[in-house]
Structure 1
Amino acid sequence: MKHIESESNASLKQWKKLHTKKEREKSGTYLIEGPHLIEEAIKSGAKLQHVIIEEHFELNESWLKEKFALWSVPSKLMKQLSETEKPQGIIAVCEMMDQNENLIKKNGRYLLIDGVQDPGNLGTIIRTADSAGLDGVFLGEGTADLYNGKTVRSTQGSLFHLPIVKADLLEIVQQCKEMNITVLSTSLQEAVDMRKAPEVEGFALIVGNEGAGVQEALQQESTMKVKIPIFGSAESLNVSVATGILLYELQRNRT
């Protein structure tokens, strides 16, 4: 284990740069924080390059079998590296996952995310997709960065459990239709009450931007437009809440 004391340490400076999207994309790495996320990364086979622990942090001994460089830092440097108010004492530098768009298969279940800008919403949606047993998630243009620290934390490790791919959603929709997968788009206009939608085997659900919803081009290419009924006075639901309701309704129809 190597120890870092100085703020001017080159490795520390490099890791702090990973707080920016530009450096994450340049290096192909990102930060994950906390024992739970690191354990999920290891169990899922994600490659960790470095693990940085705060002095006196008790490391899980089974992790020492992994091939990563181990560092220790004082609490003042851990606070600089952490993006949370209360650091959990351990941070890792993780390699980004391979992007593979060739996921579409017969009767597959997919989520297409169109321009969801809030990292917390994105992370929660990914966690929900994982819980609902989906086969893959596609991130369209304008969607928050998957490797933003808030996104990563909000997934609670689910980003390691299922394929997540940046893609042209119009192309993904066409691939789904070629495989006879029903494409459902959320909409408030000319949409079917989700409870009355016909049962489908494979599906691709498109959810959209917090304010504007799913872009018109994607709605037009979808097989069906669906909505969740509102019984109170609220104009709409949070996109992550709506996604959860829709995915579980779709899964209920399959059982």
Structure 2
Amino acid sequence: MLTSVKNEKIKNWRKLKKKKERDLQSQFMIEGFHLIEEAHKSNWAIIEIIYQTGIEVNADWLTYPSYEVSDNVMAALTDTKTPQGIMAVVRKNKCSERQSKRALLVDRIQDPGNLGTMIRTADAAGFDTVILGKGTVDLFNDKVIRSTQGSMFHLHVYEADLNDEIARLQQEGIEVWSTGLDNATYYHKLEVPEKLAIMVGNEGAGVDPEHMKKSTQNVKIPIYGQAESLNVSIAAAILMYEVAKK
């Protein structure tokens, strides 16, 4: 059992809280039984399991290298208010462009909860791909991971230059709808194409105007009350579920 936070193994796990180290090692940490089970069932590689003294580890996970740690060590590793006492180190998947039928493009989203919620919603709405543009919060941020509730392991998620991706998608016959108000049409007045990518933008600035110019269509959502706008994850959900109905 590992009992000291000064242990080199534990020091290395703690380093994974930082994006720079996650990128360097191509690893990240997940926490809780549900996330570990979702990773276990996916094609993502679990490197090792970390469990607190007294926690019963799922028998299916015992094929992975496992480390028992004391209460103080688990407290040093976790960032959650009510930790479940079990974590895992996972290797990053190397994802890149591929053909898709339904994609969500994310432009400079900053809030981890928003990004995680959108990935989870994309999964629920039957989308197959999520493309993260430059300036978007790190996919492997612990708050993003928790907000996805495991959906990040079900979808093809990768980082790319959105200008390049818009051009590629359109060349493949996929329409790109960008959310915004300029030269935009209400989404419910449009015919939903068989292949579609929806692009949403930064919480304050929206989608980059250059991306909007290159989009096939700019769309907007009607506001019936006094609110100036919708939360970006809510707007994305409305559009993705509208597409899911077709």
TM-score by length of 1: 0.94
RMSD, matched Cα: 0.9
Answer whether contact 1:47 1:94 (CA < 8 A) is retained: yes
2:85 to 86, 89, 99: 89
Aligned mates of 1:173, 1:154 — CA distance in 2: 26
CA shift, 1:199, in A, is 2.4
Q: Which amino acid aligns with 1:69?
A: P
Distance 1:180 1:6 in 2: 56
> Does the alignment pair 1:163 with 2:159?
no
| Counterpart Cα distance in 2 of 1:249 and 1:54 | 44
Alignment of 1:40-189 (within 5 A): 40-64=38-62, 66=63, 68-101=64-97, 103-105=98-100, 108-189=101-182
Corresponding residue for 1:16? 14
Q: CA deviation at 1:104?
A: 2.4
8 Å CA contact retained: 2:117, 2:147: yes
Structure 1 residue 45, shift from structure 2 partner = 2.6
Q: 2:5 aligns with which of 4, 7, 10?
A: 7
Which residue, 182, 195, 202 being the options, matches 2:188?
195
Deviations 1:70-122 (A, max 9, x none): 00111111011001112111011100111221x125xx111100000111110
Structure 1 stretches of 4+ with a deviation exceeding 6 A read none
Determine helix, strand or coil for the equivalent of 1:150.
helix
Q: Distance in 2 between matches of 1:87 and 1:180?
A: 46
Give the corresponding residue for 2:26.
28
What's 2:223 paired with? 230
Scaled by the length of structure 2, what TM-score is found? 0.98
AA matched with 2:104: L
Contact 1:139 1:165 in 2 (8 A): yes
Secondary structure in 1 matching 2:81: coil
Rounded to whole Å, the distance in 1 between the matches of 2:77 and 2:54 is 17
* Unmatched segments (≥5 aa) in structure 2: none
Contact 2:3 2:72 in 1 (8 A): no
- Residue identity opposite 1:74 in structure 2: S
The DSSP-based 3-state class of the residue aligned with 2:178 is strand
What residue number does 1:38 align with? 36
Contact 1:104 1:175 in 2 (8 A): no
Deviation by residue 1:4-63 (Cα, 9 ceiling, x = unmatched) = 011210000000011100110010000000000000000013211111100010111122
**How far, CA to CA, are the matches of 2:158 and 2:102 in structure 1?**
14
